[in-house]
């Protein structure tokens, strides 16, 4: 098609833009330069031509652009698109079939299912859990999602399920099972999911939920009762159906403010004749004063006490001394109240180290000791882990006027949650379900025991290690070895050129030398080791070592080489937040590249967000233009009955959501950049020549210096003496 033919055609501006883009890309635009194709459909064909796929498989105007996209992505991933490349299959179903085929799961036999159901079937198949029973029974997508999540966590939810439960109700049951509470108390159709939540939280907090499990209490009433119980209040005065949740709240707050007060400090004094009695100390002390030289009978004193309502804690000895002795005009304490005694809060007693240090100590020679460190706490099967000592009730007090002073009952602690343990029948004792590594999180109130695979050594002869849990290698890891663990990896011996990946931390007690082969040490957590030579190291949290020589290093956190023998020499290091080193470089100026703060990885993330946003905005503009064209050509009644118009409207909504998500991503990216602008390098001892620094995009070739801190300003690198 010539330029003149294009200009004289009936193509819209957006269609012409897609054709022009194809010409610039060098693709055969004749394959899609057809007026019956919307610009957004043309774009999918152009993208397919750019990626080299067979666009004839979806170059059909009867397919909408979303369907075209699913077929194109399938072709690019070399899957059998014939299983779903049909105009009769909605794109949402296509997407689930395509995603399933990409991981070896064929959902085409269940095309009669809704796309949201197919999604749950696919996710369950990937997680290797069976939800087919619940699919057949007619559970909806939100219900299936919660059932699937529960099964993935190994929860025995089947006995508690009824199809009348909403997805959020099933979620509350799963949460209760995770916490180890008796969910049968609330797994009932009579409760809404919000009521279930209040009961679950009460059970987890070890409260007497019997005070509010009546299903006629609405969830906000339950909440007020639960809040009162959580601080030891006697809720019986307001835990009644006749009170609204607002009335309950008012009564709870009144009880809360009054229950632990001793009374009124400013009580008025009473005078009977010459005898004056004053009640002090919030009703806890009655003080009598008589004129000097006077004597009083017991009847006179009793009358004065009755008038001032002093009836409790009376000191008969003090009164007898007044009767038998002439007054000297001083104040005499004649009654003392009994103060309330608060109950003790519940507490846990642990039988393992809840906070192992994991910190290597510096030896006399200046090196960090990575061998003699308690990296983690191990427990044996059936080992007693903890005992819960329940809260005690408070002891009420009494003022001198006989007023009962309510004592605060002790508050219960939440039950410990997590995995890898069992509980005693009364729920107060915790035992290890199996041997493994135990971790306690005080903030979350969790105990997690993960199984540990202990192997002698790992090399090509022993084979690869792929384990869900922790891996402990007691000797060496040889060249070409492979270790992958979802938890921590600990190696007692030496590590050669190998591949180690951990979902937790990696600890190499004797260090690693990667000469002689490809290697990668990668951790979601922290990497610690005696030394690293010629290694590729990646850690999200941080890296700690004595020295790193000729390594490729990346961490989102801190590279810590600050021991007295700490050294960074050679290689390429990227530490996004900080480098702490004793020495960087050496006297012979070995080339060393150091990047701190902003780096190419971060720039690529920013570029991708920018490109994605530009793409979505472009697609949104095309859709909005198409929508306007329909509005110009057709009346509201006509276009609202046209499937293609309704698809365009839905697509506009979807693209607007995508733009919102990209905006959030962009904000997180900007916030991260602001953090990186504070990045710095601390050198405690020597900086030598030969080191090229890049701090937030500012470069500097080092000169000899000593005990400095380096930061990057908008214009240059700032060096300050420590």
pLDDT 10s digits, 286-334: 998 887 777 778 888 888 888 888 999 999 988 888 887 777 778 889 9
Is the pLDDT assigned to residue 710 strictly greater than 80? yes
What are the CA-CA distances from residue 549 to residues 60, 121, 286, 509, 566 (Å)? 59, 49, 80, 17, 11
pLDDT tens-place string over residues 253-284: 888 776 555 444 444 566 666 788 888 887 88
Contacts of residue 579, defined as CB under 8 A and 6 or more positions apart, other chains included, come to: 558, 559, 561, 568, 573, 594, 596, 680, 681, 682
Residue that has been written with the tokens 């846990």 in this structure: 348
> How far apart are the C-alpha atoms of 38 and 62, rounded to whole Å?
11
- Could you list the beta-strand ranges (E) of 504-557: 506-508, 512-513, 520-523, 526-533, 536-539, 542-549, 552-555
> How far apart are the C-alpha atoms of 560 and 539, rounded to whole Å?
12
Average pLDDT over residues 55-75: 95
DSSP H or E segment with residue 378: strand 377-379
pLDDT tens-place string over residues 590-611: 999 999 999 999 999 999 999 9
Give the HSE-up count for residue 132: Cα atoms under 13 Å, Cβ half-sphere. Answer: 5
pLDDT tens-place string over residues 149-160: 999 999 999 999
Lookup: tokens for 109: 């036999």
Report the chain's mean pLDDT, rounded to a whole number.
91
- Residue 293's pLDDT is 72
- DSSP for residue 375: -
pLDDT tens-place string over residues 336-365: 999 888 889 899 999 999 888 777 888 888
- Residue 1's pLDDT is 56
> How far apart are the C-alpha atoms of 606 and 619, rounded to whole Å?
20
Higher pLDDT, 10 or 664: 664
Residue that has been written with the tokens 């009730």 in this structure: 393
pLDDT tens-place string over residues 369-413: 877 777 788 899 999 999 999 989 888 889 898 888 878 788 888
Sorting pLDDT into bands at 50, 70 and 90, what band is 8? Answer: low
> How far apart are the C-alpha atoms of 334 and 300, rounded to whole Å?
14
- Residue 369's pLDDT is 80
- Residue 494: closest CA among 507, 514, 515, 511: 511
Lookup: tokens for 689: 């020549």
Strand partners, 491: 473, 508
- Residue 3's pLDDT is 61
Higher pLDDT, 258 or 67: 67
> How far apart are the C-alpha atoms of 629 and 393, rounded to whole Å?
75
Is the pLDDT assigned to residue 192 strictly greater than 80? yes
Report the b/e string of 345-372 with b at 16+ CB within 10 A. Answer: bbebebebebebeeebeeeeeebbebee
- Residue 249: closest CA among 225, 231, 214, 213: 225
Residue 570 · residue 547 · CB < 8 Å: no
- Could you list the beta-strand ranges (E) of 646-716: 680-687, 691-695, 698-701, 705-712
- Residue 696's pLDDT is 93
Sorting pLDDT into bands at 50, 70 and 90, what band is 190? Answer: very high
pLDDT tens-place string over residues 90-125: 999 999 999 999 999 999 999 999 999 999 999 999
- Residue 373's pLDDT is 76
> How far apart are the C-alpha atoms of 452 and 650, rounded to whole Å?
50
Of all residues in the chain, the percent with pLDDT exceeding 90 is 70
> How far apart are the C-alpha atoms of 147 and 174, rounded to whole Å?
8
Is the pLDDT assigned to residue 421 strictly greater than 50? yes
- Residue 266's pLDDT is 47
Residue 526 · residue 502 · CB < 8 Å: no
């Amino acid at each position: 098609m010539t330029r003149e033919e294009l200009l004289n055609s009936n193509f819209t501006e957006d269609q012409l833009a897609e054709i022009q883009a194809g010409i610039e890309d060098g693709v055969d635009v004749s394959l899609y330069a057809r007026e019956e194709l919307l610009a957004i459909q043309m774009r999918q064909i152009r993208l397919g031509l750019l990626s080299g796929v067979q666009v004839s498989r979806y170059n059909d105007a009867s397919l909408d652009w979303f369907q075209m996209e699913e077929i194109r992505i399938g072709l690019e991933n070399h899957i059998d698109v014939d299983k779903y490349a049909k105009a009769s299959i909605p794109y949402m179903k296509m997407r689930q079939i395509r995603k399933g085929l990409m991981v070896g799961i064929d959902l085409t036999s269940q095309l009669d299912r809704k796309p949201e159901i197919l999604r749950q079937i696919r996710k369950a198949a990937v997680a290797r859990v069976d939800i087919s029973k619940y699919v057949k029974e007619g559970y909806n997508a939100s219900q299936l999602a919660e059932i699937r999540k529960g099964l993935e966590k190994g929860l025995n939810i089947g006995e508690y399920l009824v199809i009348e439960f909403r997805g959020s109700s099933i979620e509350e049951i799963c949460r209760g099972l995770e916490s180890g509470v008796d969910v049968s108390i609330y797994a009932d159709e009579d409760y809404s999911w919000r009521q279930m939540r209040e009961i679950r939280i009460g059970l987890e907090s070890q409260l007497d939920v019997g005070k509010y499990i009546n299903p006629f209490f609405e969830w906000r009433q339950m909440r007020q009762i639960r809040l009162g119980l959580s601080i030891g209040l006697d809720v019986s005065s307001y835990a009644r159906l006749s009170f609204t949740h607002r009335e309950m709240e008012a009564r709870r707050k009144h009880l809360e403010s009054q229950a632990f007060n001793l009374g009124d400090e400013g009580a008025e004094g009473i005078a009977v004749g010459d005898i004056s009695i004053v009640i002090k100390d919030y009703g806890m002390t009655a003080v009598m004063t008589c004129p000097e030289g006077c004597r009083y009978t017991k009847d006179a004193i009793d009358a004065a006490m009755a008038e001032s309502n002093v009836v409790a804690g009376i000191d008969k000895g003090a009164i007898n001394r007044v009767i038998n002795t002439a007054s000297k005009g001083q104040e005499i304490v004649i009654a003392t109240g009994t103060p309330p005694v608060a109950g003790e809060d519940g507490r846990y007693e642990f039988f393992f180290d809840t906070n192992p240090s994991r910190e290597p100590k510096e030896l006399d020679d200046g090196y960090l000791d990575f061998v003699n460190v308690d990296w983690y706490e191990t427990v044996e099967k059936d080992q007693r882990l903890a005992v819960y000592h329940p809260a005690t009730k408070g002891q009420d007090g009494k003022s001198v006027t006989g007023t009962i002073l309510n004592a605060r009952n002790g508050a219960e602690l939440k039950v410990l949650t997590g995995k890898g343990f069992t509980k005693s029948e009364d729920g107060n004792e915790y035992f290890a379900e199996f041997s493994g590594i135990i971790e306690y999180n005080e903030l979350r109130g969790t105990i997690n025991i993960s199984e540990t695979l202990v192997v002698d050594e790992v090399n090509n002869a022993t084979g690869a290690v792929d384990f869900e849990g922790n891996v402990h290698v007691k000797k060496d890891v040889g060249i070409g070895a492979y270790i992958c663990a979802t938890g921590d990896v600990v190696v007692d011996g030496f590590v050669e050129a190998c591949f180690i990946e951990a979902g937790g931390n990696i600890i190499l007690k004797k260090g690693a030398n990667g000469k002689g082969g490809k290697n990668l040490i990668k951790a979601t957590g922290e990497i610690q080791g005696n030394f690293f030579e010629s290694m590729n190291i990646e850690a999200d949290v941080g890296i700690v070592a004595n020295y790193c020589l000729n390594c490729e290093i990346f961490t989102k956190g801190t590279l810590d080489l600050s021991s007295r023998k700490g050294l960074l020499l050679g290689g390429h290091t990227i530490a996004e937040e900080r480098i702490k080193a004793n020495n960087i470089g050496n006297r012979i100026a070995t080339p060393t590249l150091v990047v701190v703060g902003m780096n190419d990885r971060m720039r690529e993330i920013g570029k991708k967000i920018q490109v994605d946003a530009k793409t979505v905005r472009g697609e949104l503009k095309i859709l909005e233009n198409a929508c306007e064209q329909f509005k110009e050509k057709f009346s509201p009644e006509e276009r609202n009955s046209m499937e293609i118009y309704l698809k365009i409207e839905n697509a506009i909504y979807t693209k607007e959501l995508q733009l919102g998500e990209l905006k959030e991503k962009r904000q997180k990216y900007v916030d991260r950049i602001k953090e990186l602008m504070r990045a710095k390098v601390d050198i405690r001892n020597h900086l030598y020549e030969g080191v090229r620094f890049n701090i937030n995009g500012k470069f500097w070739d080092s000169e000899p210096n000593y005990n400095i801190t380096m930061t990057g300003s908008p214009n240059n690198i700032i060096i300050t003496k420590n």
